[in-house]
Amino acid sequence: MLHVHSIDGVAISAQAKGLLPLSQIALLVCNDLGYHDYAGLGDDSAEQGRLVDDLGAHGAMLLRNHGPLTVGKTVADAYLRLHTLENACRIQVRALAGNSEVTEVAADISATVAAQALDILDGPAGETAWPALLERVRSEHPDFSD
């Protein structure tokens, strides 16, 4: 499980409609996305149970007014899903900042892309992205492995 408090992720988690199908990137995650209403810090067992229930079979979740959370078969899969969700949130924030009407992708196309996305996000893509990320972290932070 990965969870962050990113600016764009929190911004989208605070929007009533959540993540919208506005871009191809959003389509990769929006149909595999659960939502959890904010109820505090989540440090008690009852809240943890509700988190698990709201996540259900989804690979990602927006914690309302809090931020994104992702899971995967491996850390690499959870990372790729988080990276994709973060980019989708960033795109939506920018699209809505234009203060004009946005165009959502039709539901039938969204469903088709969502089915295709599972092969991408639960397939070898995470295993390819993860080593590249680790290499980048090591080059920018040589003491990372210590």
Can you tell me the distance from the alpha carbon of 52 to that of 66, in angstroms, rounded to the nearest whole number? 16
Q: Is the pLDDT of residue 41 over 90?
A: no
Does a structural domain hold residue 146? Answer: no
Can you tell me the distance from the alpha carbon of 46 to that of 98, in angstroms, rounded to the nearest whole number? 40
Strands 33-36 vs 60-63: parallel, antiparallel or unpaired? parallel
Work out how many domains the chain is built from and give that number. 1
Q: Is the pLDDT of residue 42 over 70?
A: no
Please compute the mean of the pLDDT values over residues 8-16 and round it to a whole number: 97
Does a structural domain hold residue 30? Answer: yes
With cut-offs at 50, 70 and 90, classify the pLDDT of residue 123. Answer: low
Does a structural domain hold residue 114? Answer: yes
pLDDT at 29: 93
Q: How far is CA 139 from CA 75, 76, 82, 127, in A?
A: 20, 19, 22, 19
Cα 139 versus chain centre, distance: 26
HEC secondary structure over 62-110: EECCCEEEECCCCHHHHHHHHHHHHHHHHHHHHHHHCCCCCCCCCHHHH
Does a structural domain hold residue 94? Answer: yes
What domain range is 112 assigned to? 2-140
Does a structural domain hold residue 27? Answer: yes
- Name the least confident of 7-16, 72-81, 87-96, 111-120: 111-120
Percent of the chain topping pLDDT 70 = 96
Q: Is the pLDDT of residue 146 over 70?
A: no
With cut-offs at 50, 70 and 90, classify the pLDDT of residue 85. Answer: very high
Can you tell me the distance from the alpha carbon of 104 to that of 45, in angstroms, rounded to the nearest whole number? 38
pLDDT tens-place string over residues 19-38: 999 999 999 999 899 999 99
pLDDT tens-place string over residues 43-53: 777 888 899 99
Does a structural domain hold residue 145? Answer: no
Q: What is the CATH number of the domain that holds 84?
A: 3.40.225.10
pLDDT at 83: 92
